[in-house]
Structure 1
Amino acid sequence: HAAPFDSSDARRTRGPTASLHSPASTEARPTAAESSPAREGNPPPNARARGETNQAAPPPQRARRALTAAATAPPAPKPAAKRKGQADASSPSSSKRGSRRAFAVVMAASLLALAVAFLVGAGAGVDRSAAATVEVAGSEVTFGSVVKLMHEKTKHRLHSHDVPYGSGSGQQSVTGFPEGDDGNSYWIVRPTPDSSAKQGDAIETGSIIKLQHMRTRRWLHSHLHASPLSGNLEVSCFGGDGQSDTGDYWRLEIEGTGKVWKRDQKIRLKHVDTGGYLHSHNKKYNRLGGGQQEVCGVREKRAENIWLAAEGVYLPANGSK
């Protein structure tokens, strides 16, 4: 039977007045910062006497080094003249194109790792001296790692934003987001306060974990309030740094024979207080852009309960070489 309205959750709710069901609840997206154009430098006093034209001011030190390296690099050899009937050697082969594409992917992933590691280390209590690794197949999900959770059925990422529910608890809403490059879908994997687990420790099946939303600092939370679209258990974000309770506790259940949580491994997250599994489905919110769908809690094991750790920054496991 359903428990009565949890007034303590409602009192501790924080968030703007716009709600998930109000027309003003569309998620605000940060605008791109405008960069001011570089100034052109004035010519030296005797420039006109020497017949020199106005030159740009010297570039910053980092740009100057890059320009120097480019200027001192040997010129590329000219392609040999093509004989009659000979294939054009200047066109890259498919293997070369594949190598370049793979290199670009690795570089982009490396930049993502550096950016996320800096953001997390700046305010999340994560040791930035620990070497973070870009995710690869089979990477272990360790405490302190920053990951996106992908819903297996719909491929949406677990997502939150500073928009409250218009019903139920009124706490910060949690949705499924269809795009993998969204910055509001990163979660920091944390141990519970009474655990002896440390940053970098592997996470075994049966472990109780907490997921902290990286951008808003609130915890993935659940309780007996009804979810807005399906009437299942509401899943929200609640609390913050130094403010948490057992409503933020989730038990890791690894599907299959695996004992330690790894990237791309099927898992379920079972809420400790309510017994509901973290769940999502194709029920969409009309007032949220981008095709966001409901995330809720369901007490039965279903195919829609399964999630996988996807993009992110994975801290190396303690003791690994």
Structure 2
Amino acid sequence: MAFSFFAVAVYLLVTLDSDYASTPADAASEGVQVTYGSTIKLMHEKTKFRLHSHDVPYGSGSGQQSVTGFPNVQDANSYWIVKPTPDSFAKQGDTIKSGTIIRLQHMRSRKWLHSHLHASPISGNMEVSCFGGEGESDTGDYWRLEIEGSGKTWRQDQRIRLRHVDTNGYLHSHNKKYSRIADGQQEVCGVSDKKPDNIWLVAEGVYFPAAEGK
């Protein structure tokens, strides 16, 4: 089941960035549910940059694969697969409630969205990186979903925050940009305070249908 979905997802993602993808404008009106197995882009609300990673390591801190905000919509390195934690009984297609701990797996590299207390390169906040791989994941990959407003179950049109379990830092970005490791891309980091720059929206993606009865 997992393999067949991944094969279909790869096929669809070839055309996602050429008008096939569900976008914030068209899917928001339908309130598409974000379920386990969905492959999504996360858009920083304030700057509209997408959460992004590629095989470029940080030159400081952990030296792990860098995570940035990417200005262009059409880039497959901005796709993330929504996964449960290893000890969860959740399955593909299950809906996700506010307060749930999730993981985000980078589709291209198969590494996990990760954070720790290393200083981020530009602002000196908590570094956010990509780490591990299939079968290699730890609590540094755990993020608690916080839905803004009254919604209880994650849908595409909802504003969200992701709070890192180990550090309590919110996934954060701002308009401070790199000039070397990722020219024109902006820093993504973790910060301890709840701020407007912590807000993200689900943008383009392939949405795994909600399991029956969910």
Amino acid paired to 1:180? V
User: What is the match of residue 210 of structure 1?
Assistant: 103
Query: Post-superposition shift, 1:264?
Result: 2.4
**Residue 311 (structure 1) aligned to one of 199, 204, 208:** 204
Distance 1:257 1:226 in 2: 34
User: What is the match of residue 134 of structure 2?
Assistant: 241
2:70–2:185 Cα contact (<8 Å) kept: yes
**Across the two proteins, how many residue pairs are aligned to each other?**
197
Using a 3 Å threshold, how does the CA distance of structure 1 residues 229 and 151 change in structure 2: closer, same or farther?
A: same
**Residue 193 (structure 1) aligned to one of 69, 83, 86:** 86
The correspondence of residues 71-150 of structure 1 with structure 2, limited to 5 A, is 117-118=9-10, 134=22, 136-137=27-28, 138-150=31-43
Distance 1:225 1:120 in 2: 36
Query: Post-superposition shift, 1:118?
Result: 3.1
Could you report, residue by residue, the CA deviation over 1:51-79 in whole angstroms, capped at 9, with x for unpaired residues?
A: xxxxxxxxxxxxxxxxxxxxxxxxxxxxx
Structure 2 length-normalised TM: 0.87
- When the two chains are superposed, the root-mean-square deviation of aligned CA atoms in Å is 2.1
Higher strand share: 2
Using a 3 Å threshold, how does the CA distance of structure 1 residues 119 and 228 change in structure 2: closer, same or farther?
A: farther
User: What is the match of residue 175 of structure 2?
Assistant: 282
Structure 1 length-normalised TM: 0.59
Amino acid paired to 2:50? R
Using a 3 Å threshold, how does the CA distance of structure 1 residues 198 and 163 change in structure 2: closer, same or farther?
A: same
Query: Post-superposition shift, 1:141?
Result: 0.3
Could you report, residue by residue, the CA deviation over 1:205-251 in whole angstroms, capped at 9, with x for unpaired residues?
A: 00000000000000000000000000000000000000000000000
Query: Post-superposition shift, 1:182?
Result: 0.9
User: What is the match of residue 264 of structure 1?
Assistant: 157
Could you report, residue by residue, the CA deviation over 1:240-266 in whole angstroms, capped at 9, with x for unpaired residues?
A: 000000000000000000000010210
Distance 2:46 2:125 in 1: 18
Higher helix share: 1
Report % sequence identity.
73
Distance 2:8 2:209 in 1: 15
Could you report, residue by residue, the CA deviation over 1:87-128 in whole angstroms, capped at 9, with x for unpaired residues?
A: xxxxxxxxxxxxxxxxxxxxxxxxxxx98713599xxxxxxx
Amino acid paired to 1:248? D
The gaps in structure 1 that reach 5 residues or longer are 1-113, 122-132
The gaps in structure 2 that reach 5 residues or longer are 1-5, 14-20
Using a 3 Å threshold, how does the CA distance of structure 1 residues 284 and 134 change in structure 2: closer, same or farther?
A: closer
Amino acid paired to 1:174? V
Which one scores higher on RCO, CA 8 angstroms, separation ≥ 6?
2
User: What is the match of residue 171 of structure 1?
Assistant: 64
The structure that has the greater radius of gyration is 1
User: What is the match of residue 24 of structure 1?
Assistant: none
